[in-house]
């Protein structure tokens, strides 16, 4: 059985408010829309109340909040009846550890290195700080440990027959061995005779606790004994405390002593005896000793490179795949893995064993979330079907930006804001900031490991720890891609050495005061040249660990910092994109898309996701500014004058600053509701601005909130959005730009739906999506309304021209986008082989048209998607229809008769195998032609 390749997917965000059952209820609509496969957020058990599922706490259970396995099976069964598949999002890099809900993590906290799950998580058991040896640092306290302890905020509690350490509503497990002194004291407080059976049992339990093997023991047999005996101990204590009121009272009395001001030393001693160290949350940046997802303390990374971990984590997933309930997998954050290629191969081999096929045939449809930098390509040997589509999004997004306006838009940005720092410099600074702050501990661990490697050779042993740490910091800050892919066997991808060499050159150039030899040494280590001749210390392991660090630093430094500082044209500040590249030429776009046919024909095509910084139609309108730079400057001049009355002075500085103000204007322009529904709009903008300035980390941040600045920008936004002069100006510009933004949105959708690959529609994006960054982009979808629109489109049948014209007149409600989406998806269904396997041929119809043909044998489709229509029409008409195209022609791959599936019109090619654009686009502003 070969992998099921989706025809078109639809992303659903599952949570307690939209469950497996809710998903099942919309299947009829999705099937009729033209979707072949539902694509869900992670369906596994996550932290209670999770709105996204990426903080899963169990790989072996389907989410009870979503309905559990029965509801999941019902959903899968309903899909199968319709011939539809299900792609699930899977998280191989990390797990959620908040609220005590992850049983494996809790076992690690209770038993330390003796836990049978100690190797499941990526923990540094022998960190730089000796006092943390054998312990896990838990940065969960709101203040210094001693202060918290002395305030009585840490207490021992008895719950369900077990004893926990409590910090407000958080419960931490207590090592059974550490309970011996407390149990001894409880025995003294029972008031029972010395030969009383219950008292003797309690004394026996205390002895058992005292004799448990230490959590740090390396003896496998002793670990087995501890694992068995500590469960026996807990069961005995639970049963005894439930059975004997005297014992229960004695335990409570002992706990009261430990919790009293007089017992603080005993409580402190017990806490120090745990296999974890509770600490002030702020020290996480420097001392945390478990790998995290980025800098999120509640998401602990796992060691998926361990075969036992892999088997445990995939047992349920592979069963669901084997039963046909899951037909494909989207893999989250694979750049965090120790060995991505090895992981992909292991998944395909698991599926191959189920089907009896060769794993090289890719029996499982796999997509990897992978951010590719400009010019970077996915490694050809990865046994997957492609990425989740951010690379396509970046290529497509740039088509609606006039590259010729780059210099003028840059000048306007500099003139208004005073910002002169280029994007690449902001990225460099952003990465360094991240490594000084939230990911400092990761750099420290790498530096200590590199020092050990340096000590092993007389030619490098004089490099100091400080110089090595500086070299690591500067190399990562200069790294041109998210990561390289050295494997445990020492093999690598072809481009890896070039990326390392480039980073070394940049780091040397930026650090003239540091010996270039230290950068050369680090570069040689990463390329494994320093390990030639054989050594006891693993150079390869360092290279692999280094790779796991560059991705998070880049993501945090670029997407979550620099993207909020460089505001020249924020529609370009998108995941997978490079804001320094001002637009995409038609030539470059066609070259990249044509390459997908030979390299990754089954990769996903995305325009919006749960992680994009802005909705696709928000971006589409903002990009129009590149067509009207002079007008944009005029509006800015007026708004800047209005804005002064809503700014404040904070310690001699303007708040908000002009860069944040510039972001505000673009944000409002892009998100100004097409349907004039302003309910909750102002607070959406305020919430967005708060997130944006915290991510920028210039005036405030998530960890050091500047409430004065945050209040200032909130008051600024509210004031401006209530100001009549500003509202009149933004409404005027919105009215001018709206139809051209809608054109960009429709053209973008059509290209996505007809290009080589698997088009994905993010929930609700079949109509206008003017959302902002999460959580704004995860608002509920009105499927009843969408279904009503779809019924009207279906009723029009094969002659949709009249309805298309009607929807064009009322484009503000988004129905026209749903019409285009449905009819294009229907074309993919009717001509599945053509759109799945067809070649790609760019067609030159001028700079205002994105045109290409898909061909397979005699089957042909032609996509016609206008761009820059504001410039083309001179704003004299809302839509680029009819005579505005003059005598421009559309070349065709073959002559004959073509039907525009978006209108039902028939067009006959000329003898030159061309069509007049004024005829093709006479009634509707884009076309999907299929050879009749």
pLDDT tens-digit series, residues 822-848: 999 999 999 999 999 999 999 999 999
Return residue ranges of the chain for CATH 3.20.20.80: 9-93+304-388
Return residue ranges of the chain for CATH 3.30.1590.10: 99-293
CATH number of the domain located at residue range(s) 9-93+304-388 in this protein = 3.20.20.80
Which residue from 559, 552, 548, 507 is spatially nearest to 697, judged by alpha carbons? 559
Return residue ranges of the chain for CATH 2.60.40.1180: 782-931
Contacts with 488 (C-beta within 8 Å, 6 or more apart), sequence order: 305, 338, 339, 342, 540, 544
As a whole number, the mean pLDDT across the chain is: 96
SS (H, E, C) 97-121: CHHHCCHHHHHHHHHHHHCCCCCCE
Name beta bridge partners: 605.
759
Pairwise CA distance, residues 854 & 599, whole Å? 16
For the CA atoms of 335, 336, 340, 343, the dihedral, rounded to the nearest 10 degrees, stands at: -140
CATH 1.10.10.470 is the classification of domain 396-405+571-736: yes
Check pLDDT > 70 for residue 533: no
Cβ–Cβ under 8 Å, residues 923 and 917 = no
Cβ–Cβ under 8 Å, residues 142 and 169 = no
Pairwise CA distance, residues 685 & 665, whole Å? 11
Model confidence at 130, pLDDT cuts 50, 70, 90, reads confident
In Å, how far from its chain's centre is CA 492?
25
In Å, how far from its chain's centre is CA 201?
53
Pairwise CA distance, residues 573 & 560, whole Å? 10
Model confidence at 161, pLDDT cuts 50, 70, 90, reads confident
What average pLDDT does range 556-574 have in this prediction? 98
pLDDT in tens, 717-757: 999 999 999 999 999 999 999 999 999 999 999 999 999 99
In order of 92, 218, 273, 548, the CA distances from 337 in angstroms are: 8, 27, 33, 7
The confidence score (pLDDT) of residue 531 equals: 59
CATH of the structural domain 99-293, one choice from 3.40.50.2300, 3.30.1590.10, 2.40.50.140, 3.40.50.720: 3.30.1590.10
Check pLDDT > 60 for residue 535: no
- Looking at CATH, the fold of the domain delimited by 782-931 is given as Immunoglobulin-like (2.60.40)
Check pLDDT > 70 for residue 537: no
Check pLDDT > 60 for residue 536: no
What does residue 381 show for φ and ψ, rounded to 5 degrees? -85, 0
User: What is the value of pTM for the model shown?
Assistant: 0.96
Cβ–Cβ under 8 Å, residues 540 and 508 = no
Pairwise CA distance, residues 393 & 534, whole Å? 45
What average pLDDT does range 65-76 have in this prediction? 98
What average pLDDT does range 159-181 have in this prediction? 95
Pairwise CA distance, residues 830 & 932, whole Å? 12
pLDDT in tens, 857-901: 999 999 999 999 999 999 999 999 999 999 999 999 999 999 999
Pairwise CA distance, residues 56 & 716, whole Å? 39
Pairwise CA distance, residues 539 & 281, whole Å? 33
The confidence score (pLDDT) of residue 219 equals: 86
Check pLDDT > 50 for residue 590: yes
What average pLDDT does range 568-589 have in this prediction? 98
The confidence score (pLDDT) of residue 532 equals: 57
Pairwise CA distance, residues 824 & 383, whole Å? 30
């Amino acid at each position: 059985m070969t992998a099921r390749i989706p025809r078109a997917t639809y992303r659903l965000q599952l949570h307690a408010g939209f469950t497996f059952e809710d998903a099942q209820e919309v299947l009829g609509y999705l099937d009729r829309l033209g979707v072949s496969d539902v694509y869900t957020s992670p369906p596994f058990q996550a932290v209670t109340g999770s709105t996204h599922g990426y903080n899963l706490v169990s790989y072996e259970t389907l989410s009870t909040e979503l309905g559990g396995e029965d509801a999941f099976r019902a959903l899968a069964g309903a899909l199968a009846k319709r011939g539809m598949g299900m792609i699930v999002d899977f998280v191989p890099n990390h797990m959620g550890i908040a609220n005590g809900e992850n049983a494996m993590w809790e076992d690690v906290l209770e038993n330390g290195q003796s836990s049978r799950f100690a190797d499941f998580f990526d923990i540094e058991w022998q960190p730089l700080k000796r006092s943390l040896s054998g312990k896990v640092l838990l940065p969960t306290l709101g203040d210094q440990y001693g202060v918290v302890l002395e305030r009585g905020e840490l207490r021992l509690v008895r719950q369900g027959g077990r004893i926990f350490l409590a910090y407000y509503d958080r419960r931490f497990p207590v090592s059974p061995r550490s309970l011996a002194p407390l149990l001894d004291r409880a025995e003294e407080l029972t008031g029972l005779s010395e030969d009383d059976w219950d008292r003797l049992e309690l004394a026996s339990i205390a002895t058992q606790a005292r004799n448990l093997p230490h959590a740090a023991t390396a003896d496998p047999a002793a670990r087995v004994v501890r694992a068995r005996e500590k469960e026996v101990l807990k069961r005995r204590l639970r049963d005894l405390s439930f059975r004997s009121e005297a014992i229960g009272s004695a335990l409570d009395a002992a706990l009261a002593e430990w919790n009293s001001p007089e017992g603080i030393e005993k409580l402190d001693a017990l806490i120090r005896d745990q296999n974890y160290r509770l600490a002030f949350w702020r020290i996480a940046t420097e001392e945390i000793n478990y790998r995290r997802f980025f800098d999120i303390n509640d998401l602990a990374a796992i060691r998926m490179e361990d075969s036992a971990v892999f088997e445990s984590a995939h047992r349920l997933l592979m069963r669901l795949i084997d039963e046909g309930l899951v037909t494909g997998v989207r893999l989250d954050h694979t750049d965090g893995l120790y060995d991505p290629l090895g992981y992909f191969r292991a998944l395909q081999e698991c599926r191959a064993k189920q089907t009896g096929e060769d794993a090289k045939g890719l029996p499982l449809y796999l997509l990897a979330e992978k951010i590719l930098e400009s010019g970077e390509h996915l490694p050809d040997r990865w046994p997957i079907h492609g990425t989740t589509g951010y690379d396509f999004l970046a290529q497509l997004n740039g088509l609606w930006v006039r590259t010729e306006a780059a210099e003028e838009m840059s000048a306007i940005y500099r003139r208004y804001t005073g910002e002169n720092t280029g994007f690449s410099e902001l990225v460099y600074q952003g990465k360094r900031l991240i490594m000084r702050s939230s990911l400092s501990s990761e750099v420290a661990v790498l530096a200590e490991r590199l020092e050990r490697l340096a000590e092993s050779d007389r030619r490098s042993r004089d490099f100091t720890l400080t110089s090595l740490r500086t070299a690591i910091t500067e190399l990562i800050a200069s790294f041109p891609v998210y990561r390289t892919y050295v494997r445990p066997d020492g093999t690598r991808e072809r481009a890896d050495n070039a990326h390392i060499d480039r980073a070394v050159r940049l780091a040397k150039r930026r650090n003239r005061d540091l010996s270039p030899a230290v950068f050369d040494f680090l570069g040689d280590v990463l390329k494994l040249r320093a390990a030639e001749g054989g050594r006891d210390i693993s150079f390869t392991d360092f290279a692999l660990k280094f790779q796991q660090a560059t991705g998070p630093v880049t993501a945090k430094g670029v997407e979550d910092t620099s993207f909020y500082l460089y505001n020249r044209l924020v529609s370009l500040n998108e995941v997978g994109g490079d804001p320094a590249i001002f637009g995409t030429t038609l030539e470059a776009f066609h070259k990249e898309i044509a390459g997908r046919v030979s390299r990754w024909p089954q990769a996903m095509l995305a325009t919006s996701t749960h992680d994009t910084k802005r909705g696709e139609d928000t971006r589409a309108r903002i990009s129009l500014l590149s067509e009207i730079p002079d007008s944009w400057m005029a509006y800015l001049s007026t708004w800047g004058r209005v804005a002064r009355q809503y700014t404040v002075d904070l310690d001699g500085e303007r708040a908000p600053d002009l860069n944040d103000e510039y972001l505000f204007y673009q944000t409002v322009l892009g998100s100004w509701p097409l349907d004039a529904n302003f309910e909750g709009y102002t607070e959406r903008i305020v919430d967005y601005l708060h997130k944006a300035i915290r991510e920028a980390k210039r005036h405030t941040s998530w960890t050091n909130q500047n409430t004065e600045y945050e209040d200032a920008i909130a008051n600024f936004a509210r004031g401006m959005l209530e100001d009549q002069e500003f509202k009149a100006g933004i409404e005027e510009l919105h009215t001018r730009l709206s139809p051209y933004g809608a054109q960009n949105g429709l053209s973008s959708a059509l290209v996505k739906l007809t290009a080589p690959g698997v088009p994905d529609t993010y929930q609700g994006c079949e109509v206008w999506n003017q959302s902002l960054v999460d959580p704004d982009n995860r608002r509920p979808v009105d499927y009843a309304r969408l279904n009503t629109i779809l019924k009207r489109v279906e009723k029009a049948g094969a002659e949709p021209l009249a309805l298309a014209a009607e929807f064009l007149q009322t484009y503000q409600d988004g129905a026209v986008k749903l019409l285009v989406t449905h009819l294009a998806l229907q074309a993919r269904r009717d001509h599945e082989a053509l759109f799945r396997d067809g070649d790609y041929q760019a067609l030159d119809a001028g700079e205002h048209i994105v045109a290409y043909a898909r061909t397979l044998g005699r089957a042909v489709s032609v996509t016609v998607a206008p761009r820059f229509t504001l410039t083309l029409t001179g704003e004299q008409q809302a839509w680029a229809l009819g005579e505005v195209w003059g005598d421009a022609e559309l070349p065709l791959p073959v002559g004959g008769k073509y039907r525009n599936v978006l209108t039902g019109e028939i067009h006959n090619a000329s003898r030159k195998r061309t069509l007049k654009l004024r005829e093709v686009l006479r009634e509707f502003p884009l076309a999907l032609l299929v050879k009749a």
